[in-house]
Amino acid sequence: MRNTFIVILAIVLLGICLLSGGCSKPDQSTIKEWQELLKFPADKEKTQPKGYNDISQQAETGVTKPGKVLQVSLYFADAGGQKLVREERNIVKVEGIARETMEELIKGPANVESTRVFPAGTRLLDINLKPDGLCIVDLSSEAVQVANRTQEKLMIDAVAKTLGQFPTVQEITFMINGENVDSIGGYIDLSAPIRPDYGS
């Protein structure tokens, strides 16, 4: 309302000036006063502290806003590489919690008495959870470099148990470099999806 009044006032004064035969050239101080008077209030974003808008947008997308800490179970090989041992780890709860958990699994154990289950250099390329509970795990080609049947079984079981802790994951199937595979290292049949077995 205030802005509309100022604009109307400016138009009226301009009209009076023109009707009276023209206006003499105002000095610079007068021009500055009018500019200040007619200046519209700054946008809300411009009046916010520097960086405020960026931070608020990042918070909305979950980039910088701290999330709740979630404790997850990760499975690694024991020191002798013969069986799986569980390790609890706290991670920040994010929308793609299964992906985040898999990344932690690939990083390896924090416990020095445990060993990683993936061949060196293995990366998670993608993970896709279907509405029916089928979780598709796509690993890089380094995963095929398992040394023997035991290592391949430990790797597969570790992934199955780690992802199976989430209620939405019912079955797991594997891909290598985006390609469907019947086996990762040639030792274990993966032609059908697997289910996590917590009894082993």
One domain, residues 139 and 171: yes
User: Residue-wise pLDDT tens for the chain (200 aa)?
Assistant: 555 655 566 676 565 655 555 545 545 554 455 444 444 344 433 333 333 333 223 333 333 345 789 999 999 999 999 999 999 999 988 888 999 999 999 999 999 999 999 999 999 999 999 999 999 999 999 999 999 999 999 999 999 999 999 999 999 999 999 999 999 999 999 999 999 887 76
Q: With respect to residue 191, please indicate whether it lies within any of the assigned structural domains.
A: no
Q: With respect to residue 197, please indicate whether it lies within any of the assigned structural domains.
A: no
Using a cut of 0.75, tell me whether the model's pTM lies above it.
no
Q: Which residues of 37-61 are buried (b: 16+ CB within 10 A; e: fewer)?
A: eeeeeeeeeeeeeeeeeeeeeeeee
Provide the domain limits for residue 128. Answer: 69-180
One domain, residues 102 and 75: yes
One domain, residues 56 and 77: no
One domain, residues 9 and 77: no
* Nearest in space to 196 (alpha carbons), one of 156, 150, 167, 164: 164
Q: With respect to residue 196, please indicate whether it lies within any of the assigned structural domains.
A: no
Our count of domains for the chain comes to: 2
One domain, residues 46 and 122: no
One domain, residues 77 and 40: no
